[in-house]
Structure 1
Amino acid sequence: MNTVFVNGELIDRDKAKIDIEDRGYQFGDGIYEVIRVYDGSTFTMKEHMERLYQSAEKMKLSIPYGEEEFTSKLLKLIELNGIGDGIVYVQVTRGVSPRQHHFPAKDVAGSVVAYTKDFPVPVGQMENGVTAKLVEDIRWLRCDIKSLNLLGNLLAKEEAASNGHFEAILHRGDTVTEGSSSNAFIVKDGVIYTHPVTNLILNGITRRVIESLCGKNGIMFQEKTFSVTELLGADEVFIASTTSEVMPVIEIDGKVIGEGKPGAVTKRLQSLFSERIGIETR
């Protein structure tokens, strides 16, 4: 069954329609989340939903459902579609109104859509590692909002993908920020470093899980900016996201990282992350 959620209704995908004057379509005036599903159970759903509502508040955008009600609707959607390993995509826009740059009247309801998708765990890439390309970070200065305005991310990802790489690692000048669709981490002398939570990065849910796992398992974790030179000279590099989990990066712009294979700290985190999934979803 291919059911989607559109403005309060669970309907067949073929019948789903969005108005051409929806502000998400015309302005990218909206927010989204991607929530992981393992063996039919959601992972870190509460954290994703909390961030969705936080993004809405930052954008002065109203979600027409309470968090508990919305969560219940999404769980029903996952159940109806029989998702095993996959994702549920959630999008909220400022709604439908005649095209104008300022916000519509307060009585204009937001548009809400959600759908599910099968998405297997990328086991092979996690075991062997991936390559990345450095790309200048040209995005706007509110990367902490998970908005639909992703053109900077898309251009970076395309530059990486068209050159045969899994991810683009972004930098503002000499400072590494994050990946085009992930957070970026380096390991040096057993210590994990990642960019502090500011407006220049998205505070990833997987990033938060990694920080928690490090704290509970005696792994040194520091929120500290690092340079492109430090990135290329790291013992290990990995990226993290909802769909990539803990993904080793073994080469960047042709420069081999460490020994050119997933390192010990990264592999330990992968193991701890898998354990966390099992605990939360069983």
Structure 2
Amino acid sequence: MSRTVYVNGKYVAEENAQVSVFDRGFLFADGVYEVTAVVGGKLVDFQGHVVRLERSLGELGMGMPLTGEELLGIHRELLSRNNVDEGLVYIQITRGVADRDFAFPENVPQSVVLFTQNKSLTSEKPGLRVISVPDIRWGRRDIKTVQLLAPSMAKMMAKKAGKDDAWMVEDGYVTEGTSNNAYIVTKEGAIITRNLSTSILHGITRAAVLKLAAELEMKIEERPFTITEAQEAKEAFVTAATAFVCPVVEIDGVELSGGIAGPIVKRLNELYIEESRKSSI
């Protein structure tokens, strides 16, 4: 049975879903996206994703083509039609369809596409083994754009090395993973993660997990860290809507926490799942 997807106001079977070859998302990667986790058939951190979506659009000079309530209705309709209990909902919004020109077109309807993916999010996760790679992305990583070629290349470098993912490094410091925010836990138990700036995505899951850590009275330092510092850490992990809190057990060949998830990472993941079940809508 094929999925039902949403394309510009219509619910259609995925094999019938179409966008124009002149869509600026295709021609220029001129668009943004969001992904919201689904647990128990409900949406996790939905409002945070809507707020970030609106910000990303605004940073590119685009408005919100739909209200938050309209987006919530579409998300829920897709979950119902596709019988999604646990997984993801993606939304992609581009500037729309126009003849090829670097200058932005005016008064063009935006393209809006949503689709679901079934994926296990709450099951126990094996630890990730990561490599470090140069961060070659553009300078506005705080905007969640659809231009994902650089992180895709980094992911493939990791796969070719027989590893799971890559941590990107700029000026000697880790920025983030290919599709996640990166963290280490010091031997003293402090959580270190890069501070918010245009260098990294302002993760919705990141904000939720740091709030939980603060409630546990854990020490949190928002600052850059090096690969060497990460290799000397007690634990390491990443966060994302697509992975929740996922342990990292090897960095450039150096094993951490005995090659398994450490107690702090496991506790944070358990708490995040528990909170997600309570607060999802």
Give the structure-2-normalised TM-score. Answer: 0.95
Hey, what's the Cα distance between the residues in 1 that align with 2:171 and 2:227? 9
Cα 1:69–1:122, aligned 2, differ >3 Å: closer, same or farther?
closer
Q: CA deviation at 1:231?
A: 1.1
Hey, what's the Cα distance between the residues in 2 that align with 1:270 and 1:69? 31
| CA-to-aligned-CA distance 1:20-78 (integer Å, 9 cap, x gap) | 00000010000001111112111111111111111000011123212222222221121
Establish whether residue 101 from structure 1 lines up as the match of residue 99 from structure 2: no
Hey, what's the Cα distance between the residues in 1 that align with 2:44 and 2:23? 30
User: Aligned partner of 1:203: which letter?
Assistant: H
Which residue is 1:113 aligned to?
A: 113
| CA-to-aligned-CA distance 1:191-232 (integer Å, 9 cap, x gap) | 000000000000111111111101112111121111121111
Paired-residue identity, %: 36
Query: 3-state SS of the aligned residue for 1:61?
Result: coil
Contact 2:48 2:204 in 1 (8 A): yes
Which residue is 1:35 aligned to?
A: 36
Query: 3-state SS of the aligned residue for 1:259?
Result: helix
Contact 1:63 1:110 in 2 (8 A): no
Query: 3-state SS of the aligned residue for 1:64?
Result: coil
Hey, what's the Cα distance between the residues in 2 that align with 1:84 and 1:166? 26
Output aligned runs, 1:6-25, within 5 Å: 6-25=7-26
Which residue is 1:150 aligned to?
A: 148
Establish whether residue 262 from structure 1 lines up as the match of residue 261 from structure 2: yes
Establish whether residue 131 from structure 1 lines up as the match of residue 125 from structure 2: no
Q: CA RMSD in A?
A: 1.4
Q: CA deviation at 1:281?
A: 3.4
Query: 3-state SS of the aligned residue for 2:84?
Result: coil
Query: 3-state SS of the aligned residue for 1:157?
Result: helix
| CA-to-aligned-CA distance 1:86-117 (integer Å, 9 cap, x gap) | 11110000000000001002x10100000111
Output aligned runs, 1:71-86, within 5 Å: 71-86=72-87
Hey, what's the Cα distance between the residues in 2 that align with 1:258 and 1:15? 48
User: Aligned partner of 2:203: which letter?
Assistant: G
Q: CA deviation at 1:151?
A: 1.4
Structure 1 window deviating more from structure 2 (137-146 vs 163-172): it is 163-172
| CA-to-aligned-CA distance 1:133-161 (integer Å, 9 cap, x gap) | 11111111000000011111111111012
User: Aligned partner of 2:158: which letter?
Assistant: A
Output aligned runs, 1:222-237, within 5 Å: 222-237=221-236
Establish whether residue 182 from structure 1 lines up as the match of residue 180 from structure 2: yes
Query: 3-state SS of the aligned residue for 1:171?
Result: strand
Hey, what's the Cα distance between the residues in 2 that align with 1:175 and 1:100? 37
User: Aligned partner of 2:183: which letter?
Assistant: F
User: Aligned partner of 2:112: which letter?
Assistant: V
Contact 2:37 2:43 in 1 (8 A): yes
Q: CA deviation at 1:14?
A: 2.2
Query: 3-state SS of the aligned residue for 2:212?
Result: helix
State the aligned residue count. Answer: 279
Q: CA deviation at 1:123?
A: 2.9
Structure 1 window deviating more from structure 2 (187-196 vs 256-265): it is 256-265
Contact 1:215 1:221 in 2 (8 A): yes
Query: 3-state SS of the aligned residue for 1:123?
Result: coil
User: Aligned partner of 2:170: which letter?
Assistant: R
Which residue is 1:169 aligned to?
A: 167
Stretches (4+) displaced over 2 A: 121-124, 258-261
Structure 1 gaps, min length 5? none
Q: CA deviation at 1:258?
A: 3.7
Hey, what's the Cα distance between the residues in 1 that align with 2:177 and 2:84? 28
Give the structure-1-normalised TM-score. Answer: 0.95
Q: CA deviation at 1:122?
A: 6.6
Which residue is 1:44 aligned to?
A: 45
Which residue is 1:277 aligned to?
A: 276
User: Aligned partner of 1:168: which letter?
Assistant: A
Q: CA deviation at 1:265?
A: 1.3
